[in-house]
């Protein structure tokens, strides 16, 4: 469902951000993309979503991600942005949630069912008609996730989905991610969350894939993680 083939990307300054990156994520798989700040994780997400374009080939399903295929790509793909303020642009949570499904031709009745089901799953029912500028940062983060789940895309990208969440809401997000049938790619510094949700991990450093394999194998490898400016998840600390 997600594929990158020999993808490279750099900015006009001459700085290389990604260098010959290739990976495949199968249908229904949940994969963690990890690395220290500046490794290139968010750039990969933006390339998959068609926000940036580089060299090489990027596919969502069988659809190449190009400027002239963006409508088709974005029907298949939902992207939880790292900054919720860049995602929540309507006056209320409800209006943000209804916007994309209705824009893609889903009936109002079906959209309402999706909204209510997602809000119940995330324990956010009381926020349905809240005004976005009046809710807390953590609530807005949860609402941004709800917006994407209401779309019911085939592929979900999540950039730091548990950032700024308290332990209760963090656990709700983990449980929700684990219940989803969609193909999921998650970037996060919360390696315990990655361990709880992802079967496979891709380790990125300085724009290159350093390691790829079972989440348990990579996330328990202290030497590997520390060599690339990361620490063991708390689950493995002291073992």
Q: Which region among 75-79, 86-90, 149-153 has the lowest average model confidence (pLDDT)?
A: 86-90
Q: Name the CA dihedral angle for 54, 56, 62, 67, rounded to a multiple of 10 degrees.
A: 30
Single out the residue of 101, 21, 27 nearest to residue 61, CA to CA: 27
- Tokens 């409508």 map to which residue? 71
* Whole-number pLDDT of residue 238: 56
Neighbouring C-beta atoms of residue 47, cutoff 10 Å: 22
C-alpha to C-alpha distances, 137 to 29, 131, 141, 233, nearest whole angstrom: 29, 13, 6, 25
- pLDDT of 12 higher than 70: yes
What mean pLDDT is predicted for residues 141-168?
Answer: 94
In CATH terms, the fold of domain 2-236 is Rossmann fold (3.40.50)
Rounded CA separation 229/239 (Å): 20
* Per-chain mean pLDDT for the chain: 94
* Whole-number pLDDT of residue 158: 96
Single out the residue of 123, 188, 137, 197 nearest to residue 162, CA to CA: 188
What mean pLDDT is predicted for residues 165-188?
Answer: 95
């Amino acid at each position: 469902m997600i594929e990158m083939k020999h993808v490279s990307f750099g900015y006009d300054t001459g700085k290389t951000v990604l260098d010959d990156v290739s990976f495949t994520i199968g249908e229904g798989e949940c994969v963690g993309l990890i690395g220290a700040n500046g490794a290139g994780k968010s750039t990969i997400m933006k390339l998959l979503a068609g926000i940036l374009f580089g060299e090489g080939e990027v596919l969502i399903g069988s659809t190449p991600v190009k400027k002239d295929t963006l409508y088709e790509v974005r029907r298949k793909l939902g992207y939880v942005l790292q900054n919720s303020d860049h995602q929540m642009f309507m006056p209320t949570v409800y209006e943000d949630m209804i916007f994309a499904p209705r824009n893609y031709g889903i009936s109002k009745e079906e959209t309402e069912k999706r909204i209510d089901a997602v809000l119940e799953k995330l324990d956010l029912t009381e926020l349905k008609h809240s005004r976005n500028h009046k809710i807390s940062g953590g609530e807005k983060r949860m609402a941004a996730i709800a917006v994407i789940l209401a779309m019911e895309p085939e592929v979900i990208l999540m950039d730091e989905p548990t950032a700024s969440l308290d332990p209760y809401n963090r656990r709700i997000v983990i449980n929700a991610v684990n219940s989803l049938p969609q193909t999921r790619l998650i970037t996060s510094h919360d390696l315990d969350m990655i361990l709880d949700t992802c079967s496979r991990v891709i380790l990125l450093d300085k724009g290159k894939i350093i390691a790829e394999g079972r989440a348990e194998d990579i996330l328990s490898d202290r030497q590997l993680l520390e060599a690339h400016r990361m620490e063991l998840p708390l689950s493995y600390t002291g073992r």
